Structure 1
Amino acid sequence: MKRAERLIALSEMLRRSGARGISAERLAREFAVSVRTVKRDLDSLENSGAPLWSRPGPGGGYGMASGASLPPVTLSPAQAVALMAAVSAAADAPYADLAAAGVQKILDVLDPRTRARADELARRVWVNAPALSSRATKSALEEAMAEQRVVRIRHTSKAGSTTVRDVEPVLFASTNGQWYLVGWCRMREAIRWFTVSRIEQATVTKTACSGHTISEVGEPPANAKPVHGLDE
């Protein structure tokens, strides 16, 4: 790992350690460098404006000041491409357009040299973009979920039966390469899973959801989890 990349990873690890902090010895083991190198890196972070704190003695260590403003994070070219690849490969995911816009904002503030290297590396990463639902349909589903309003959908089942239903959105779920809208179907009076790619039309109504919860969906598969932060 190059030093610039190590400094980025080091600052992220310190941030995640919270009030506990983390010892220089553990940081050295984590990055396979000497304690002396770690302390030199910590000095560099502090000199760059990172709000570091240190606690001497047994049980002591280093951490990032809680609630303090961090200096702008500089991505490595590989990290920038990782973001681009993740968003490109999940173009059918909920709020993917917003994610793409967020990644673009990050790319726009990269220094020219890093951006050029990221662009070069990005040309070496190909993705097979899935067929997408219409933008209008996706936007309606996303708005209904975020605002917790009933959405009226036109949905065609796998068997070819088309129905129009009012659904109270509860969650989006991805399994076996497909995205689903999971919600309370007012027609069936039960929780139902609707394949997003089979929803031909969606309209957000002015009716607020009545309060159906995620617990009504049941237990998620063992390998499924909510989209929390990476340190969850």
Structure 2
Amino acid sequence: MKRVERLHALSEMLRRSGARGISAEQLAGELEVSVRTIKRDLDALENSGAPVWSRPGPGGGYGLAVGGSLPPVSLSPAQAVALLAAVSAAPDAPYADLAATGIQKILDVLDPKTRARADELAHRVWVNSRPSYSRAIKSALEEAMDEQRVIRIRYTSGDESTTTRDVEPVLFASMNGQWYLVGWCRLRSAMRWFTVSRIERATVTRMACGGHTIDEIGEPPADARPVHGRGQGAPRSTSPLGAPSRP
């Protein structure tokens, strides 16, 4: 691991340790370097403006001050291209447009050398992925989920019947390359899975959702997890997910 990547990983570990802190020995073990190297890296972080604190003695360690400001995020060229590739290859994913905008903001503040290396590496990654449904529908679904408002959809099911539904959005789910809107269908008075590519029209209403939760959907599959970015499994609920319910 290069030093810039190690410093970034170190700052994230300090952030996650919270008020309890983490020892230099633990940091060294996680990053597979010596304690001496960790202490040099901690000094470098502190000199760069990171609010690093230390607590000596048994049970002591290092952490980041609550409410303190961190230096600008620094990515390696490979990390920057990984973000670009992930978003470019999944244009159907919820909030993909916002993700692309966020990545561009990060790229704009990279140092010129790192940005040039990222641009060169990006030319070595090709994708050919096109959205399978309209941007207007996608934006409406995202808005309804974000603001927890009822969305009115015109939906054609697998048997080709078309209905108009008022749905309270609960979550987006991706299964076998297909995106679903999972929510409380007011027409059926039940939780339903709607294939996003079968939604022909979507309008966000002014009606607030009624408070239905993920627990009502059931336990996620063993290989599914929320996209919180921490590499942990999804929290488990008390009821099984089973097969997606047909609208």
Moved more, 149-158 or 96-105: 149-158
Q: Could you tell me how far apart the structure 2 residues matched to 1:77 and 1:57 are? A: 39
Query: Quick one: percent identity of the two aligned structures?
Result: 80
Q: Could you tell me how far apart the structure 2 residues matched to 1:149 and 1:3 are? A: 46
- Unmatched 5+ stretches in structure 1: none
What's 1:100 paired with? 100
Between the two structures, name the one with larger relative contact order (CA 8 Å, sep ≥ 6): 1
Structure 1 pair 34–147 and aligned structure 2 pair: CA distance change class (3 A): closer
Give CA deviations for 1:189-220 in whole Å, capped at 9, x if unaligned: 22111000111111112222233332222222
What's 2:241 paired with? none
* Matched AA of 1:11: S
Q: Could you tell me how far apart the structure 1 residues matched to 2:25 and 2:145 are? A: 46
* Matched AA of 2:150: V
8 Å Cα contact 1:16/1:231 also seen in 2: no
Give CA deviations for 1:18-72 in whole Å, capped at 9, x if unaligned: 1222222222222222222221111111111111111112222211112211111
Where 1:188 maps in the other structure, the secondary structure is coil
What's 1:174 paired with? 174
Structure 1 pair 212–42 and aligned structure 2 pair: CA distance change class (3 A): closer
Matches within 5 A, 1:192-231: 192-230=192-230
Q: CA deviation at 1:126?
A: 2.8
Number of residue pairs matched by the alignment: 232
Structure 1 pair 128–46 and aligned structure 2 pair: CA distance change class (3 A): same
Q: CA deviation at 1:87?
A: 1.6
Q: Could you tell me how far apart the structure 2 residues matched to 1:73 and 1:144 are? A: 30
Where 2:92 maps in the other structure, the secondary structure is coil
Where 1:202 maps in the other structure, the secondary structure is strand
What's 1:41 paired with? 41
* Matched AA of 1:57: G
Where 1:183 maps in the other structure, the secondary structure is strand
- 1:17 maps onto 2:17 in alignment: yes
Q: Could you tell me how far apart the structure 2 residues matched to 1:217 and 1:28 are? A: 41
Q: CA deviation at 1:138?
A: 0.8
Q: CA deviation at 1:188?
A: 1.8
TM value normalised by structure 1 = 0.92
* Matched AA of 1:127: V
Structure 1 consecutive aligned stretches of length 4 or more whose deviation exceeds 6 Å: none
